[in-house]
Chains A and B, each alone.
Chain A
Amino acid sequence: MHKNQSTELLFDLSRAGRRCHRLPASDVPAAPLKDLLPASALADAPPPLPEVGEIDLIRHYVNLSTRNMSIDTNFYPLGSCTMKYNPKRHERLSSLPGMADMHPLQSDESCQGMLALLFEMQNILGEIAGLDAVSLQPAAGAQGELTALLVAAAYFRDRGEKRTRVLIPDSAHGTNPASAAIAGFDAVSIKSTAKGLVDLEDLKSRLDARTAVFMITNPNTLGLFDDQIATITELIHQHGALVYLDGANMNAILGITRPGDFGVDMMHYNVHKTFTGPHGAGGPGSGPIAVRKQLAPFLPAPLVTRQGERYELDYDRPQSIGRVRSFFGNVGILVRGYCYIRTLGAAGLREVSENAVLNANYLLSRVKHVYEVPQGDRCMHEFVASARTLRRERKISAMDVAKRLLDYGYHAPTVYFPLVVPEAIMIEPTETESKETLDAFADTLLRIRDEDAGYLHDAPHTLTISRPDEVKAAKEPILRWKP
């Protein structure tokens, strides 16, 4: 069954005069537009908005939505993204009128319950991190990185220190150097060893009085916990610099170890990934940061504080870097995350990580004899396999495998990242998948290995769109509909 009806652009479906609803005449006297707005603000004609009937509009979105792949429909082992299942209970709780219908400009007195929840969330995230103070404001992980680096810059400015460089391992997420650059630092790349860990000699050779921050993802993007971390953080601190943890991979270590305990000074969480939130396809996210005591005065204002029995938003923070997000961040995701954490409790969170690591290792053991894993045969919550032998021997690339998985009803893993692994296939199953799902996925990966290379080059064969022309899309993007 092809669900193609009304899936053209709404502009193409548009017919003059068609409407979903016809509103009654306004009983408020209307003033001519030109009396309300200056001439410079008025267009010559109204914008050409599409005009469609409700049935076309509904079919348009419902049919398009059926082409989507989501965690509610398919296994989604997208490495580095922690696409775990999000229990519907959190959706229900966060849509309760007392949560969803609040106005961000309400007085503190009228939203004590929400402030109490956010205050507790600050404390919980501080405890899981092993750090002293938390800002819930950043809207997602990358903004958390930027916020923490701005906090670090303010800290060094306050101390009268001129530090200009941020050191970043070459296996890091691309957002790390981007955040460093936007925060006004120079990003310096640190090599990885053949085992995929930080090259200590390279780190030492680049560490000096110019170093402000060392950013590390631990476990890293290869799914490996860098067991040199205590040595690394000590080394950084000896040079007066700070250690930042990219918290993208917190799903591997909840309740098992704490970043603050292994020497990290600041970190971000991805509440929507590690805890819960309907993420993928652009959010909404939530990227709170946790920092050590000496950095707390510089956190974005306001924070939630408690005075006796009363909660309030504390704006009186003279050294704060200021706001990084309107109002109080993506509160809807913070509420979901809070529900998730409170439901599982401390023991449950530890089990999350244990099962995430177990699932990843099980999958690794099922596929590593075909898709080699250059960085060893044990992993944390994810692993990076490689299609390099397949490509050399049978001309089948990581991209071919990823595209073919779509035909079998699996979301593709992350491919070609991290850049340090050739033909990378980065797989993160998460703790919410059953053994049957993992086995079925592993069987499929092994079956694809034996398929005809030519057939794989043209995959996917069952979707509405097969292989878009990525070069043309990048070079000549059509960003605007024109009649």
Chain B
Amino acid sequence: MDPKDLRYAPSHEWSRLEGDVCTIGITKFACEQLTDVVYIELPDVGDHVFTGDSFGEIESVKAVSDLYSPVNGEVVAINKDLEEDPGIVAKDPYGKGWMVKIKVEPGSSLDKLMTLPQYEKQIASQDH
């Protein structure tokens, strides 16, 4: 996926809404900050997630971080490949490294999230 087409949360998750299904992952910047990823815990298909709440965890050799959902909805798919090889996230954060797909309420939008230029501005100001 092209980063230009994605929307971004301050906590470094990206989202893309296609129809009523929202795909979520974490940004390249987040991967660089985490360094080597050891383990990713994702929800089960059928779980409900809520905006701003944690839907999973990502553990690196540095720290364990929560993954926050930018939307309300029901988990319809998770990326099972990440269980075997969490390194995929860092290799291809916007493609094969996607994490979950959430079915959202009709009429939901990602307008509250940042665009790529806005997100780039945020990470420049906290440049790690």
Give A residues with C-beta under 8 Å from B: 388, 391-392, 416, 419, 422-423, 470-471, 474-475
Q: Top 3 closest A-B pairs, CB basis?
A: A422-B128, A470-B61, A474-B38
Q: Are B38 and A471 in contact (CB under 8 A)?
A: yes
Query: Considering the complex, which residues of chain B in the window 89-128 have a beta carbon less than 8 Å from any beta carbon of chain A?
Result: 126-128
Q: A470 — which chain B residues lie within 8 A by C-beta?
A: 36, 38, 61
Give the tally of cross-chain contacts (CB within 8 A).
26
Docked complex Cα distance between A422 and B123 (Å) = 12
B51 within 8 A of A: no
Q: B128 — which chain A residues lie within 8 A by C-beta?
A: 388, 391, 422-423
Q: Is the interface of A mostly helix, strand, loop or mixed?
A: helix
Docked complex Cα distance between A208 and B71 (Å) = 26
B79 within 8 A of A: no
Q: B63 — which chain A residues lie within 8 A by C-beta?
A: 416, 419
Question: For residue B66, which residue of chain A has the nearest CB?
Answer: A189
Q: Are B127 and A388 in contact (CB under 8 A)?
A: yes
A interface footprint on B55-98 (CB within 8 Å = 1, 0 otherwise): 00001011100000000000000000000000100000000000
Could you write out 9 A-B pairs with CB less than 8 Å apart? A388-B127, A392-B127, A419-B63, A422-B126, A423-B128, A470-B38, A471-B38, A471-B61, A474-B61
Category for how many chain B residues contact A: 10 to 19
Q: A422 — which chain B residues lie within 8 A by C-beta?
A: 33, 126-128
Q: B126 — which chain A residues lie within 8 A by C-beta?
A: 422
Docked complex Cα distance between A392 and B33 (Å) = 12
Docked complex Cα distance between A471 and B38 (Å) = 6
Q: Are B33 and A475 in contact (CB under 8 A)?
A: no
B33 to chain A, nearest CB (A): 7
Question: For residue A471, which residue of chain B has the nearest CB?
Answer: B36
- 4 more CB-based (< 8 A) A-B contacts, given A416-B63, A471-B38, A474-B38: A388-B128, A422-B127, A471-B61, A475-B39
A interface footprint on B29-51 (CB within 8 Å = 1, 0 otherwise): 00001001111000000000000
Q: Are A474 and B127 in contact (CB under 8 A)?
A: no
Q: B39 — which chain A residues lie within 8 A by C-beta?
A: 474-475
Docked complex Cα distance between A423 and B38 (Å) = 19
Q: A474 — which chain B residues lie within 8 A by C-beta?
A: 38-39, 59, 61
If the complex has contacts A470-B36, A474-B38, are A416 and B127 also in contact, measured as CB distance less than 8 A? no
A442 to chain B, nearest CB (A): 24
Partner of B62 from A388, A391, A416, A475 at Cβ < 8 Å: A416
A187 to chain B, nearest CB (A): 12
B1 to chain A, nearest CB (A): 26
Q: A419 — which chain B residues lie within 8 A by C-beta?
A: 63
Q: A392 — which chain B residues lie within 8 A by C-beta?
A: 127
B2 to chain A, nearest CB (A): 25
B27 to chain A, nearest CB (A): 15
B104 to chain A, nearest CB (A): 26
Docked complex Cα distance between A280 and B33 (Å) = 28
Docked complex Cα distance between A422 and B32 (Å) = 11
Q: B61 — which chain A residues lie within 8 A by C-beta?
A: 470-471, 474
Docked complex Cα distance between A471 and B62 (Å) = 10
B37 to chain A, nearest CB (A): 8
Question: For residue A475, which residue of chain B has the nearest CB?
Answer: B38
Q: A388 — which chain B residues lie within 8 A by C-beta?
A: 127-128
Docked complex Cα distance between A419 and B64 (Å) = 10
Docked complex Cα distance between A419 and B66 (Å) = 13
Q: A475 — which chain B residues lie within 8 A by C-beta?
A: 38-39
Q: B33 — which chain A residues lie within 8 A by C-beta?
A: 422
Q: A423 — which chain B residues lie within 8 A by C-beta?
A: 128
Docked complex Cα distance between A434 and B39 (Å) = 43
Q: B38 — which chain A residues lie within 8 A by C-beta?
A: 470-471, 474-475
Most buried by B among A388, A416, A419, A471: A471
A472 to chain B, nearest CB (A): 9
A60 to chain B, nearest CB (A): 30
Q: B59 — which chain A residues lie within 8 A by C-beta?
A: 474
A398 to chain B, nearest CB (A): 10
